[in-house]
Structure 1
Amino acid sequence: MRPIAVVGPTASGKSALGIRLAHKLGGEVVNVDSMQLYKGMDIGTAKLSVAEREGIPHHQLDVWEVTDTASVARYQQDAIADVEAIMARGNVPILVGGSMLYAQSLLDNWAFPPTDPEVRAHFEALLDSIGIEALHQLLAEKDPEAARIIEDQDPRRTVRALEVIELTGKPFQASQPPKDAPPRWNALILGLHTTAEWLNPRIELRTQQMFAQGLVEEVEYLQTQGLVPDSTAGRAIGYAQVFQAMAGELTWEEAVERTITGTRRYVRRQRSWFRRDPRIHWLDAEQDTLTQALALVE
């Protein structure tokens, strides 16, 4: 019943390995992709369809409305409950996804730093005044490590990091648990190692397929459900570029290319984050990952 986590960069094959492990070990999957938490965000997040889940129970999919603001603390509470319920049923939790803070919140005993409405309001006002690029540069001056892992176009997390630094007097990273602490539940953490030469064509193909399969129509439908560009869900890679093309800020060809380059940039951050975790057992994504994984499980 020891949980198994499958982490690593986007498009590396995590979902496929998770399904295969669940079949082999009698497992249930717990999603660790922050954007797959949102209802209706299917094509742009490469969410497995019901058929593709092959009868394996999946948890933490389609649990948030697109109007909801993402909350790692909320996810942590709900996902921990799912994992422990799976273990209570005598099944193996298979934690699958590459969202870095969400993975850490689930695998580590992370008590989130305090919040203060006045301090947050100060940085939100500063954001309105100077813009996200300048605010992110301020974060880089105060805490280069936090700026490196937080997307430079992510106002919410930039504000939150500055708030934590202001309240604690310490770098944002210092609020997170050490990487060498035993993982929660003594989980086995598997990481998919990839090379750029192997992964980049997969990212390009996946992006082109997303647009061909109806990503634009998905965004149009989600607009009727309240999705707007200036929201957590609306700033997701792919969705943000569709909104820009709809507004005439990009051509559709540029939207596809910006989605590809945005995904590659995100992959670089994922690699950097997960490489620093000494608890991860790395698998070669270009080989038979199930065989490699089962060797470690056994």
Structure 2
Amino acid sequence: MDRKKLVVIIGPTAVGKTKLSIEIAHRLNGEIISGDSMQIYKGMDIGTAKITKEEMEGVPHHLIDIKEPDDDYSVAEFQETVRPLIDVIMDKNKMPMIVGGTGLYIQSVLYDYQFTESPSDPEFRKRLELELQQKGEQAIHQLLAQVDPESAKKIHPNNTRRVIRALEIFHCTNIPMDDHLKQQENKLLYDVALIGLTMDRDVLYQRINHRVDLMVKNGLMNEVKHFYDLGLRDTQSIKAIGYKEIYDYFDGKVSYDEALNQLKQNSRRYAKRQLTWFRNKLDVNWFDMTPPLKHEQMVDEIFSYIAGKLKL
């Protein structure tokens, strides 16, 4: 029995995934599933570089604006939602496409990872959450570095939810989270064309800096202030890059310029981590998007690869 066909477009922030994915979707009669862990949140538009209705050009998009900013969201929930959604799109004789930059989310759909089997200890988790409140993010992250250095390298200290989850898995099994995932069958569930977009690092970093400047020009400060005034804190959404830095400014911890510089620096570091993760974890066919290049030419090249890979 033939496996279901799926197109996946990944790459670091600001590399140009949105524009290219729309062009490819038009050619494939595709519908796009967002593989971004932050664009799920309503009202968090500017800071997440969320695609606009105009930019969609009529291409249906899924998993955007599906959660309130104080809701949690997990990779297991993403997996549980996306697999049936792929079937729904295929039943309409359209091509499902996952587009985004959250690597573990995308990996969880492509491979047969069983998150429900991961062990848990609610009491241990509560103790860690209390310790987090008392000692802070770095202290909890240091605990992880002591028992599971590989996971500590991959999980940012700000992502306390994942840090605590990794500690919980180690506590229950005495096996690092990364090894726990490796023990599961690493077999693709789909006939997938996995496209990675990359770019000269200096050019990419310039684009990231410019994107932050545009976000500020388009009202990022007001967007973050809205959530700040609502008293939204200690949530998965507000810990995201683009929000936590501005919160520090509103809290009086840093100056306006320091906040923006930190936002740019964190975004650049995130892009670097994304590229490293994709190259280590997924079998990606990479396409260099460094200017000067003709966008239409790259669309042709990538479409030809997809057509050949999926035998369209």
| 8 Å Cα contact 1:72/1:105 also seen in 2 | yes
Q: Which sections of structure 1, spanning at least 5 residues, go unmatched?
A: none
**Distance in 1 between the 2:182 and 2:21 partners?**
26
Cross-structure match for 1:92:
95
Residue number among 251, 255, 258 corresponding to 1:251 in the alignment:
255
Higher alpha-carbon deviation: 6-15 or 55-64? 6-15
**1:131 is matched with which residue: 125, 131, 136?**
136
Equivalent residue number for residue 55 of structure 2 = 52
The TM-score, its normalising length taken from structure 2, stands at 0.90
Task: Go from structure 1 to structure 2 and tell me whether the alpha carbon gap of 1:176 and 1:289 turns closer, same or farther (over 3 Å shift).
Answer: farther
Q: Give identity over the alignment, percent.
A: 36
**Bigger shift: 123-132 or 99-108?**
123-132
Kindly indicate whether residue 212 of structure 2 is the aligned counterpart of residue 203 of structure 1: no
User: What is the deviation of 1:179?
Assistant: 10
Equivalent position of 1:277 in the other structure:
281
Q: State the one-letter code of the partner of 2:69.
A: V
Residues 34-85 of structure 1: CA distance to partner in whole angstroms, max 9, x if unpaired?
0001011110111111111000000000001001012221121112221111
Measured at CA, do residues 117 and 179 of structure 1 come closer, stay the same or move farther in structure 2, by a change above 3 Å?
closer
Distance verdict in 2 for CA 1:103–1:210, change over 3 Å: same
1:296 is matched with 305
| 1:111-130 to 2 correspondences below 5 Å | 111-112=114-115, 113-130=118-135
Decide whether aligned partners of structure 1 residues 204 and 180 sit closer, same or farther in structure 2, where only a CA change above 3 A counts. Answer: farther
Alpha-carbon separation, structure 2, partners of 1:19 and 1:87: 18
> Structure 1 residues 199 and 179, CA, compared in 2 at 3 Å: closer, same or farther?
farther
C-alpha displacement of 1:220: 2.6
Alpha-carbon shift at residue 180 of structure 1 (Å): 9.1
Structure 2 residue 156 is matched with structure 1 residue 151: yes
> Counterparts of 1:229-268 in structure 2 under 5 Å?
229-268=233-272
Structure 2 equivalent of residue 167 of structure 1 = 172
Matches of 2:153 and 2:6 in 1, distance apart?
A: 29
Q: Single out whichever of 284-293 and 234-243 deviates more from structure 2.
A: 284-293
Alignment check: 8 A CA contact 2:107 2:282 kept: no
Moved more, 49-58 or 288-297: 288-297
CA contact (8 A) 1:227 1:234 kept: no
The one-letter amino acid of 2:304's match is A
